[in-house]
């Protein structure tokens, strides 16, 4: 059932933290040539590695269109339930439903999806299937849906502690291609209605050159109530330094919804910028109206784009000259997440597609 006459907060629902217990995780089988290449095997290998790590602890769902249903089912086997729902790309975090809970049941939220900016700066022209996927999945799992379909939002642009506090970035939520007709205060009110939160923390920036207008899930994440990790670099010549410094200064100046000062842990970005290579471009096939890649383009690589599963933390790994950076990120997160196994996932193919592990996963919480 689609609910239009009420809001989650009015009905006693709220968005749980990602590190709360999950019923499962939603992903989408990657096939879009402009994101994953005309030969998407490397990306599919990464998605399968994520499914394998998660399926030991929780249920995993994958969406796939009819043309790729058999392929996905064969590759994933018993690791996942594959559901025939077509999409335009594979960013489950942004096109899937955001789930809210009330202690007894969960319900989905359907946001409006416009490919990260619509006619202003959207990344591809046709996104109707993506926009319809949230409701279709909720119908498949028999969950009611709150319809916020006039409000443009992606799951990667919000991050909650499950105790009333929400992290967002100004660059994303105030971007011209989303809800330009709404004031900052009106946007905040919509978020409170939808997610049952009490306080929105507006970070100034995300990750440098992040084509989502700097989603918060690439720069800062709660790892516990009152505690966040922040993407960081000590290199003052790196354009990320000033952005992360502004975020740090903001985070140290605010309190969360419970009145707590935040504990902030720095999680350094890769020591060496991750750039698009000529050979990467040979595999990519862009359609008309789709944002292209260029050789030498800096990708928005960040270890903050990790994902909490039941009992695990899945962490991006970039390899090559960033092997030491990869190991450092694993070490830091092991020190912070004592109750979970910290697992590195080779995610270069996901990064080349435009995001990382958090961007392609969407948690389905327990009630």
Q: How confident is the model at residue 4 (pLDDT cuts 50, 70, 90)?
A: confident
Kindly state the average pLDDT of the residues 126-131: 98
pLDDT of residue 150: 94
pLDDT of residue 186: 98
Sheet holding 159-160, edge to edge: 159-160, 165-169, 199-203
pLDDT of residue 72: 98
One CATH from 3.75.10.10, 3.40.50.10470, 3.30.1490.20, 3.10.450.50 for 2-365: 3.75.10.10
For 348, phi then psi, to 5°, come to: -60, -40
Separation between Cα atoms, residue 147 and residue 110, nearest integer Å = 5
pLDDT of residue 211: 97
* pLDDT above 90 for 159: yes
Kindly state the average pLDDT of the residues 128-146: 98
Query: Could you read off the pLDDT of 216-271 as tens digits, one per residue?
Result: 999 999 999 999 999 999 999 999 999 999 999 999 999 999 999 999 999 999 99
Q: What is the pTM of this model?
A: 0.98
Kindly state the average pLDDT of the residues 286-307: 96
Query: Could you read off the pLDDT of 231-240 as tens digits, one per residue?
Result: 999 999 999 9
pLDDT of residue 177: 98
Catalytic residues: 359
Nearest 5°: the CA angle 139, 141, 145 is 50
Exposed, middle or buried, 317 (CB in 10 Å: 0-12/13-18/19+)?
A: buried
Kindly state the average pLDDT of the residues 10-28: 98
> Mean pLDDT for the chain?
98
Separation between Cα atoms, residue 48 and residue 162, nearest integer Å = 29
Instruction: State percent of the chain over pLDDT 90.
Output: 99
Query: Could you read off the pLDDT of 65-124 as tens digits, one per residue?
Result: 999 999 999 999 999 999 999 999 999 999 999 999 999 999 999 999 999 999 999 999
């Amino acid at each position: 059932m689609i609910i239009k006459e009420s809001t989650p907060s009015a009905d006693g629902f709220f968005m749980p933290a990602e590190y709360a217990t999950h019923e499962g995780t939603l992903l989408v089988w990657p096939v879009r040539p402009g994101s994953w290449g005309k030969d998407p095997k490397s990306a599919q290998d990464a998605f399968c590695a994520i499914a394998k790590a998660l399926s030991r602890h929780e249920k995993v769902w994958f969406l796939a269109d009819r043309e790729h249903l058999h392929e996905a089912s064969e590759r994933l086997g018993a690791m996942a339930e594959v559901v025939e729902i077509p999409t335009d790309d594979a960013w489950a975090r942004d096109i899937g439903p955001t789930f809210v809970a009330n202690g007894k049941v969960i319900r989905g939220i359907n946001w409006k999806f416009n490919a990260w900016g619509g006619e202003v700066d959207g990344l591809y022209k046709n996104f109707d299937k993506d926009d319809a996927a949230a409701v279709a999945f909720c119908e498949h799992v028999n969950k009611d849906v709150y319809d916020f379909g006039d409000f443009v939002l992606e799951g990667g642009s919000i991050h909650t502690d499950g105790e009333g506090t929400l992290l967002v970035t100004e660059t994303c939520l105030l971007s011209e291609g989303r809800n330009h007709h709404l004031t900052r205060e009106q946007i905040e009110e919509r978020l409170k209605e939808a997610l049952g939160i009490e306080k929105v923390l507006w970070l100034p920036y995300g990750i440098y050159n992040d084509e989502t207008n700097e989603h918060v899930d690439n720069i800062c994440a709660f790892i516990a109530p009152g505690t966040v990790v922040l993407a960081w670099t000590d290199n003052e010549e790196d354009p990320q330094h000033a952005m992360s410094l502004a975020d740090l200064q903001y985070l140290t100046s605010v309190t969360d919804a419970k009145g707590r000062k935040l504990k902030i842990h720095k999680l350094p970005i890769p020591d060496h910028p991750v750039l698009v290579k000529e050979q990467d471009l040979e595999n990519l096939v862009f359609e008309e109206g789709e944002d292209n890649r260029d050789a030498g383009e800096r990708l928005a690589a960040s270890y903050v784009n990790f994902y909490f599963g039941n009992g695990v933390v899945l962490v991006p790994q970039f390899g090559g000259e960033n092997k030491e950076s990869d190991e450092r990120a694993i070490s830091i997160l092991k020190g912070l997440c004592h109750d979970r196994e910290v697992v590195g996932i080779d995610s270069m193919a996901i990064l080349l597609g435009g995001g990382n592990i958090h961007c392609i996963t969407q948690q389905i919480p327990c009630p």
